[in-house]
Structure 1
């Protein structure tokens, strides 16, 4: 069990995740986050994190080590010539496993969806991206599996897949809160991998660069 400062930080992170997921990043004040966390100090966010951007960075990276460790386990099980679905599973499962480990309701996926909708947070998200050599290697392996797809098209589809994964997980997360259904994140992950593989391998009828350069990481 951590000390009081650590517990206070975790309570603020949990509070911010729920409030941001529900009301949006720009719809919640630091004071409201502190109050929702049960902290009598209305300046608690500034005290523990320094400000709003630092709080968001801490929220983005709080599960990074756990996710990277899980991804490493999955990568270690890959054969020398993995299929596209195997590679995509290594990208998707660490995130869905993280969500599966959380109590219902969880707010993680819905928070990430809200964050993507705030233009002012693009630099914060980019700056908080944790170096993960597994992801770089997996993207290279995925490109080998779909080498017939033009690079520009593949880049755009990869960005779409990142959005698909976050948005779909957010919707499923909300459904688990709304309805009395048994969580099945493993089955949901397989559903996402099927959809992702289908999108990446789909025939190309136009090679236009319709999305332009994207600076936000494709994967959560």
Structure 2
């Protein structure tokens, strides 16, 4: 009986993952308002037409499930990166912090290559402008990201608080769309060229993000 229950539980986990990955893929390609639950069910090759409703019941539950699916690894790796950065407080830099935030998504993109759609899904979620979707994202990721932001603010003591908040918000969107762009680049490649290069692909994005955060204000330029 225990073996049967475990097999049933494993099957349920597998089906749930298939549905979430199918949803992530479709939302990434067509936007979160451009896909029906029925289409997700079909994309996941589920013979039971009510599978998506059984496991999730609504579009918002599916979207939240995607964030939850990705948050486990991403938050763990960000925590590890932050712990490593904090070992030497005197050497903390804007670049180290920004790379620490990007690192988990870079790792996943390198491992899954063209089959990875999370960053493009996240870009579509951000583009939707729907506050409830952003709130779902915040509920899974804002804790550790808040710690990175606090350290960033300490690295930029000359920035007025209002300017810092604005730049952090823009930085978040730049990161999302930049990583989505890298996904498209990796997917378009073939053979050995499909490998993600830190030097050629990731470093230029980090350079741009660092430059945006450290750019002088009008007051500083005028001095």
Q: Given the two structures, how large is their TM-score scaled by the length of structure 1?
A: 0.85
Does the aligned pair in 1 maintain the 2:67–2:140 contact within 8 Å?
A: no
Partner deviation per Cα, 1:30-56 (whole Å, 9 max, x = no partner): 111101101022222111012110110
Equivalent residues in 2 for 1:34-183, closer than 5 Å: 34-78=41-85, 79-81=88-90, 82-120=92-130, 122-128=131-137, 129-130=139-140, 133-180=143-190, 181-183=193-195
Q: Extract unaligned runs of 5+ from structure 1.
A: 207-220
1:196 aligns with 2:205: no
Of 166, 186, 191, which residue of structure 1 is paired with 2:198? 186
Q: Which moved more, 1:81-90 or 1:10-19?
A: 81-90
Cα-to-partner distance string for 1:151-208 (whole Å, 9 max, x where unaligned): 11111111111111111111121122223333225333332222111111101117xx
Quick one: distance in 1 between partners of 2:163 and 2:183?
30
- Written as runs of structure 1 = structure 2, the 5 A alignment for 1:10-25 is 10-25=17-32
Q: In 2 relative to 1, CA 127–168 (structure 1 residues): closer, same or farther, beyond 3 Å?
A: closer
Distance 1:38 1:166 in 2: 29
- Decide which structure has greater helix share: 2
Q: CA deviation at 1:137?
A: 2.2
Residues 107 and 131 from structure 1, CA distance in 2 versus in 1: closer, same or farther, beyond 3 angstroms? closer
Point out 4+ residue stretches in structure 1 off by more than 6 angstroms: none
Check the 8 A contact 1:89/1:193 in 2, yes or no: yes
RMSD: 2.1
- Please give the alpha-carbon distance, in whole angstroms, between the structure 1 residues aligned to 2:50 and 2:97: 44
Q: Which has the larger radius of gyration?
A: 2
| TM-score after normalising by structure 2 | 0.84
